[in-house]
Amino acid sequence: MEKKTVVLCDDHNIVRAGLRQIVESFRDFEVLEDVASGEAIFPLFRKKTPDILLLDISLPGRSGLEVLKQIQSMYPEVAVLALSMYPEDQFAIRMIKAGARGYLHKDSAPEILEEAMRTIVEGKQYISAELTRLMIEEMAKDNNELPHKSLSDREYEVLLYIGEGKTMTEIANQLSLSIKTVSTYRSRILEKMRLKSNSDLVKYILLHDLSPGGSNPMHKAN
């Protein structure tokens, strides 16, 4: 049987190397290439479209969410499995709504990764019991109930970084954006959420448990 082809996208060299080794140990899967940014995906896809893309959510420059939306527009046949160190209540629902066929925490065991890949390449969705619960709760809510629901994907990402206590400069470096652009996002976030300061944003994040580990600061560990 012809092997299913895979492209890996993660901005950490060690993570990519580890993922490649794990995926290549799976029967019936072949890694075409691994890349460090979303921008590097599309030249590869123009040469050969893979069956599966393993996509990190937090990438320099364009976020995984933005990359996913473009892939869905240009290459809807590619099965995308989102990978992240963020717990499922942070980005999973957004990624699934944007077209990802599954969402997997990077701490997952290799056999879980293989199961997820085999599931999505068959055209099915790989959704954990926890994510199923969250999606049911989401459907039961009014999407406009909480102010952060109105944020764009990038604005939401900036909000979470502010919740970590990162400065505008640190966020700009992390996302490969200018400080001015990040400040513009911050202003939009405050306006949409009708808040006045970073302190208000942090309080909101803690109140609504938007940071991993409840009241603990977010840790970028992907």
State which of 86-95, 178-187, 209-218 shows the largest mean pLDDT: 178-187
Helix or strand (DSSP H, E) at 134: helix 129-140
Mean pLDDT of the chain: 85
pTM of structure: 0.65
pLDDT higher than 60, residue 80:
yes
The average pLDDT across 175-200 equals: 88
> Which DSSP state fits 131?
H
Q: For 20-29, 111-120, 166-175, 200-209, which range has the lowest pLDDT when averaged over its residues?
A: 200-209
Break the chain into its structural domains and give their ranges. Answer: 4-139, 147-207
CA 161 to chain centre: 14
Tell whether domain 147-207 is in CATH 1.10.10.10: yes
Q: What pLDDT is stored for residue 42 in this prediction?
A: 95
Q: Which residue has the higher pLDDT, 137 or 186?
A: 186
Q: Which CATH architecture has domain 4-139?
A: 3-Layer(aba) Sandwich (3.40)
Q: What pLDDT is stored for residue 219 in this prediction?
A: 34
Q: What is the pLDDT of residues 16-39, one digit of tens each?
A: 999 999 999 999 999 999 999 999
Q: Which residue has the higher pLDDT, 137 or 189?
A: 189
Q: What pLDDT is stored for residue 87 in this prediction?
A: 66
Q: What pLDDT is stored for residue 88 in this prediction?
A: 60
Of the candidates 62, 35, 81, which has an alpha carbon nearest to the alpha carbon of residue 157? 62
How far apart, in whole angstroms, are the C-alpha atoms of residue 67 and residue 61?
10
